[in-house]
Structure 1
Amino acid sequence: MPDDVIDDLQRIAPKLGIPDYRALICHYVGKGLREDVERFEHTPIDDLIESLKRHGVSETVIYEAVNDMAQVG
């Protein structure tokens, strides 16, 4: 890792309440990883299911509809 990046991490970590810059590196890596996992594992059907739940559609009806789609596809 470039020295200037290490210097920035060491300077910013205490301002974020993180005593060790290596812990800040772990934080940044974890945050980026969670975003990528969400991006690659989250599907449009997940968004639809969550929207239907928010609109009061029962989980039973959603489950049956998803199963119907799986049998057709």
Structure 2
Amino acid sequence: MSLRAFHIVFVTVSTLLFVFLAVWAFAFATDRTGTTTGLGVVSAICAVIMPIYGVCFYKKVRKIVL
């Protein structure tokens, strides 16, 4: 697996992890503490930013010829 492919897979898995953490923090967490809410907010923000980063990375890497 090339470094490029690994990076795309890593961004995808990271995005799915952030989505899972956000859903857990807001829907399934048994205790609503400030830490849990903060984790949910940060995860939701990262779940939006990671795909944007992935698209920008893919556009940049597509131009590189190995």
TM-score (norm. length: structure 2)? 0.38
Larger radius of gyration: 1
